Amino acid sequence: MSKTFVAILMGSDSDLPVMKATMEVLNKLQVPFEVKITSAHRTPAETHEYVTTAEQRGCKVFIAAAGLAAHLAGVVAGITLNPVIGVPMDAGPLQGMDALLSTAMMPGGVPVATVAIGKAGAKNAGYLAAQILSVADDELAIRVRQERAESGAAVVAKDAALQAELNAS
């Protein structure tokens, strides 16, 4: 039986520093993943080959990050019927707005779940992939719920510390 995993694709190694945030989230939630640098424009044949074989090997969710005229997520969505999450990168003078529109504005019938530009989007791609998988994985669902509760608790603790500091001054 193939092992379920998430594939993180990025159009260039220049996307890697931001996409490390996705890897951190998936590691924290104990979701297996692969990482692949492949480009919709520069290596179209390799992109097609990777997506097809990854699906056969058990990839259930694809995350695709790209900047500028960012077509990677859309191309991946044209190859697979598994969910595709697009992460627009800030890679040029338009500060990611070009990639946001290129990733989000897919024609009807070929969806890409597009997250925010840059690091917040990279993190959310990891969370969203985990949430998608957790629909059919009760143990992962518990980890996702626990992580969300911890992040809420951290905000409450920071507020309590701030209030204590303000009251003391």
d(CA 45, CA 50): 9
Closest to ligand RP5 by CB, 83 vs 86, is 86
d(CA 70, CA 160): 42
Taking the complex as a whole, the smallest distance from the CB of residue 115 to ligand RP5 amounts, in Å, to: 15
Taking the complex as a whole, the smallest distance from the CB of residue 41 to ligand RP5 amounts, in Å, to: 6
Taking the complex as a whole, the smallest distance from the CB of residue 59 to ligand RP5 amounts, in Å, to: 20
Per rule CB under 6 A, is residue 80 in the interface with ligand RP5? no
SS3 3: coil
Closest to ligand RP5 by CB, 14 vs 52, is 14
Closest to ligand RP5 by CB, 26 vs 72, is 72
Longest dimension (CA), the chain: 64
SS3 67: strand
Taking the complex as a whole, the smallest distance from the CB of residue 42 to ligand RP5 amounts, in Å, to: 7
Q: Which of 39, 43, 80, 131 binds ligand RP5 (CB under 6 A)?
A: 39
Beta bridge partners of 62: 7, 84
What does the block give as tokens for 88?
């627009």
What mask of x and - would describe binding to ligand RP5 in positions 58 to 77, judged by CB under 6 A?
--------xxx---------
Closest to ligand RP5 by CB, 13 vs 165, is 13
d(CA 8, CA 124): 13
Which parts of 6-35 interact with ligand RP5 (CB under 6 A)?
A: 10-12, 14-15
Please report, for residues 101, 105, 118, 120, 151, the alpha-carbon distance to residue 68 in angstroms, rounded to integers and kept in the order given.
10, 14, 12, 18, 32
Beta bridge partners of 10: 37, 65
Residues binding ligand RP5 (CB under 6 A): 10-12, 14-15, 39, 66-68, 89, 91
